[in-house]
Structure 1
Amino acid sequence: MRPKTETPPLENATHPRNNNLTGILLMCAGVAFLCINDGLAKSLMDHYSPIQIIFLRNVIALPFAVILALKMGGRRALRSHRIGVHFLRGLIWITATVLFFTSIHLMGLAEATAIAFVAPLFITAIAALFIAPVGWRRWIAVVIGFVGVLVIVRPGAASFEAVSLLPVATAFTYALLMLSARFVDTRESMWTLLLYLSATSAILTGSIVTFFWTPIRAEDLWLFAAIAFFGTGGMTMITQAFRVAEAPTVAPFDYTALIWATGLGWFFWGETPDALTFVGAAIITASGIFIIFRESKVEAQS
């Protein structure tokens, strides 16, 4: 799926969080880059397996991730204190990405993206059940958000397709990835997490990629380079957005992905989501934004 960054609290920002305009612009640009990344993956899925795409994307991007980690975090950003946790996170991320790439290959880009945005709702629900309780307002938002999923998926209707459950599984797996960050050593920076997510994913997919390998066509070489560029660039800009601005200010702009996904799906594949998909996406978006602001308010009061 879209390789977004971790939740902001994982790293104390090293810059004053007072440049909200810059943060918003970085967030919007990063989201656009990651949506282009998804569009490129959708194109490549016609000829290559998700494992091969993930492997080549990370191998190409890894040198740049190392340079970025060194520049932003210094040499200590290259060191991990809990390497096993990073491999576990790499495995979870590969699973989420395979699920999402498969879903956008088999269904509309906008529809899959909209459903996958229930990940924050899964995070809230799982955290409430196993980590710390949340208030009734957030539980209501979670329930309403999942109603939005039902509006899009429409189980029991004649139009229902089992493939629409893939983005739901993506969102659940991605929620596990976000929550697994709790087990990362607190001495490790955001740049260490991003670096090791790419490195472990390259290693893990590299161990099995021969079973999924398809000879690369010459005309597709630039697509693999582009997916590495846009994926890495998008992750970097979103990370910076959270570093220079307040999280509640920039986080809602992640939902601009729905605009990009709709536009790219329509322009390149002629995909036009129906009215109920837009209704469901609006419900999911509203629920997610409410949770963002509610959690920030609760955190400020604690």
Structure 2
Amino acid sequence: MTDQNPRLGILLMVVTMFIFAMQDGLSRHLAGEYNVYMVIMIRYWVFAAFVIMWSARTTGGLARAARSAQPKLQFFRGALLAVEVIIMVIGFVKLGLVESHAIFATYPLIITALSGPILGERVGWRRWLSVAIGFFGVMIILMPDGDVFSPAVIFPLASAAMFALYGLLNRYVSRKDPAAVTFFYTGISGAAVMTLIGVWFWEPMSLNDWTWMITLCASAIVGHYLLIRAYELSEASAIQPFAYLQLAFASGVGVVFFGDIIRLNVAIGTSIVVGAGIFALVRAQLAARRARSGAPTAP
């Protein structure tokens, strides 16, 4: 068993979020120059190779990693993530990194809202209130006079909803499959789906952009490895709130490299959404601890 080191786990989580933000910038650049399906397909090919190598080193090897009690659901979950990535990258191109990430930050609130009907979890009034407050923050972000309200907002909104469903399915499949199996299907099914879609949209890429593509793929491997290490070194409850740093880092990338603007309504609305999301996360963790200890829950 890996020794716990919460401080190092938090540090790795922060570094991972920075790497993921750089990935978002690279994805926006490449998807702006080339077909988004091809870009995501190549990215998934490399990710699948990493997953296969990682799974081969786990207990039981590839045979154990591919042995799922619910393979159809696992494949759907991985395919859902691949489509979500496509939609989010399109949002980066059409709306920008700042606004896309500000709206995407609602996904923990969507998870809270859907955890009852999908997972049968009890969601108390405090968390429902946080959902309502969070979506009030979204309305501030989308203020018509704030220059964010446009048809393109459908992309990060749809992406947030799909990623929330993906997160719920992760929790659902974990009831029967270990994490190694879930991780394996995430890479393999995503690569399979993206190959079926992206192979028809292949186009030549300049040598300079192949350099960026290789950098994107390498950063994906490093980022996922560091994320795995972060969860090994620290409890999820301690490091999960730091995932919101990706929003801040990606906004910085958007401002510095793409000329995005952080408008006042976006900053205020995002603060409300993130605050509500962290509150919902903390309440969910408290409810889970009480459930494990047998104490009365008040989620």
> With structure 2 as the length reference, what TM-score do the two structures score?
0.89
Is the partner of 1:208 in helix, strand or coil?
Answer: helix
1:117 is matched with 105
Structure 1 position 182, deviation (Å):
4.1
CA distance in 2, matches of 1:73, 1:41: 34
- Note the C-alpha offset of 1:72: 4.5
- Aligned-pair distance for 1:272? 1.8
Q: 1: distance between equivalents of 2:60 and 2:263?
A: 48
1:50/1:80 Cα in 2 relative to 1: closer, same or farther (>3 Å)? farther
Could you tell me how far 1:219 is from its partner in structure 2?
A: 1.9
- Say if 1:66 and 1:78, in contact at 8 Å, map to a contact too: no
Residue 167 (structure 1) aligns with: 156
1:261 and 1:59 map into 2 onto residues whose CA distance is 24
Q: How many angstroms apart in 2 are the aligned matches of 1:222 and 1:87?
A: 31
Match of 1:84, SS?
Answer: helix
Tell me whether 1:227 sits opposite 2:213 in the alignment: no
Match in the other structure for 2:198? 209
Kindly provide the amino acid, as one letter, of the partner of residue 279 in structure 1. Answer: I
CA distance 1:21–1:158, shift in 2 (3 Å): closer
Alignment of 1:205-284 (within 5 A): 205-284=194-273
Shift of the alpha carbon at 1:97?
Answer: 0.9
Deviation at 1:140, TM superposition (A): 0.4
Instruction: Give distance in 2, aligned partners of 1:157 and 1:21.
Output: 39
Cα 1:186/1:165, change in 2 over 3 Å: same
Instruction: Give the deviation of 1:180 after TM superposition.
Output: 1.6
Q: Which residue of 2 aligns with 1:79?
A: 66
Whichever residue aligns with residue 239 of structure 2, its letter is: V
Q: Quick one: distance in 1 between partners of 2:145 and 2:185?
A: 42
- Please, which runs of 5 or more residues in structure 2 have no aligned partner? 292-299
Q: Check conservation: 2:146, 2:265, Cα contact below 8 A.
A: no
Give, in whole Å, the separation in 2 of the partners of 1:250 and 1:62: 25
User: In the TM superposition, what is the alpha-carbon distance from 1:158 to its structure 2 partner?
Assistant: 6.8
Aligned mates of 2:60, 2:209 — CA distance in 1:
35
Q: Aligned AA for 1:257?
A: Q
SS in structure 1 opposite 2:187? helix
Which amino acid is the alignment partner of residue 182 of structure 2?
A: L
Distance 2:117 2:245 in 1: 29
Q: CA deviation at 1:260?
A: 0.7
- Aligned identity (percent) is 27
- Range that drifts further, 159-168 or 187-196: 187-196
Which amino acid in 1 is paired with 2:48? L
Q: Is the contact between residue 93 and residue 201 of structure 1 (CA under 8 Å) also seen in structure 2?
A: yes
Contact 1:108–1:273 under 8 Å retained in 2: no
Tell me the secondary structure at the aligned position of residue 2 of structure 2: coil
Alignment deviations for residues 172-207 of structure 1 (CA, whole Å, 9 cap, x no partner):
011111112244364643233223212111111212
* Corresponding position of 1:62: 48
> What is aligned with 2:179?
190
| Deviation, structure 1 residue 109 | 0.5
Q: Write the distance in 1 (CA, Å) between the matches of 2:290 and 2:71.
A: 35
Q: Secondary structure at the match of 1:215?
A: coil
SS in 2 for 1:176: helix
Q: How many residues align?
A: 288
1:140 aligns with 2:126: no
Q: Encode CA deviations 1:183-234: one digit per residue, 9 max, x unaligned.
A: 4364643233223212111111212323322222222112221211212222
AA of the residue aligned to 1:52: M
Task: Give the CA deviation at 1:269.
Answer: 0.9
CA deviation map 1:57-86 (0-9, x unaligned): 111232222222233555155323233222
Aligned-partner residue type, residue 289 of structure 1: I
Aligned 8 A contact 1:92 1:177 in 2: yes
Name the amino acid aligned to 2:2: H
Question: Secondary structure of the equivalent of 2:33?
Answer: coil
Gaps of 5+ in 1: 1-13
Instruction: Give me the TM-score of the superposition, normalised by structure 1.
Output: 0.88
- Paired amino acid for 2:193: L
After TM superposition, which residue ranges in structure 1, 4 or more long, deviate above 6 angstroms? none
Instruction: Pick closer, same or farther for the CA change 1:236–1:74 going to 2, 3 Å.
Output: farther
Distance (Å, rounded) in 2 between the aligned partners of 1:99 and 1:61: 18
